[in-house]
Amino acid sequence: MYFENIDLDKLILRCYPDPVLRQPARPLTPDEISKNLIHLSERMIELMVKSAGIGLAAPQIGLPIRLIVVSVTGKIDDAFALINPELSNFQGVSEMEEGCLSVPGVHGKVKRSQVCQAKGLDLDGNELVIEAADLSATVLQHETDHLNATLFIDRLSTLGRFAARKGIKALENDYASQKRI
């Protein structure tokens, strides 16, 4: 339970191309579902809302564990956490403009399933099943992608990648310059 000794106030959003974003997240064990995980998810929700996001995955704050938080409205009161999410029952196709707190300034249209089901655990360790459609389905797919080391920019069309290339290159250059300090 390596995340128990983390100073929650020092957690920050990790930005592309930080290697933690390309590291598959590991499932949480029943023993790891504790008050510390509740505090971690509360901190993640605060960061998400403060950053004007509607979803956040633990790898985006440097923790490669299978935990996401979501608030489609962007409000703390509507937020929930999902541990070890697994998606299924995909239906239809939707194309929405996406952005990402870990890829700031870059946006693009991404095709995803219009409907999906998410199964996981809540913060009490109880099974949670979510039937999602439209924006909710997109957010769950986007955040679960983070747990699998996939970013929305990986799902852009060739034209979308071309349009996003300057923003992606700027993030790469910024990251490289910070590493030299």
Residue 30: cis peptide before it, omega within 30 degrees of 0: no
- Active-site entry in 4, 46, 127, 143: 143
Residue 143 among the catalytic residues: yes
Q: What is the 3-state secondary structure (H, E, C) of the chain?
A: CHHHHCCHHHCCCCCCCCHHHHCCCECCCHHHCCHHHHHHHHHHHHHHHHCCCCEEEHHHHCCCECEEEECCCCCHHHCEEEEEEEEEEEECCEEEEECCCCCCCCCEEEEECCEEEEEEECCCCCEEEEEEECHHHHHHHHHHHHHCCCCHHHHCCHHHHHHHHHHHHHHHHHHHHHHCC
Q: Which residues are catalytically annotated?
A: 143
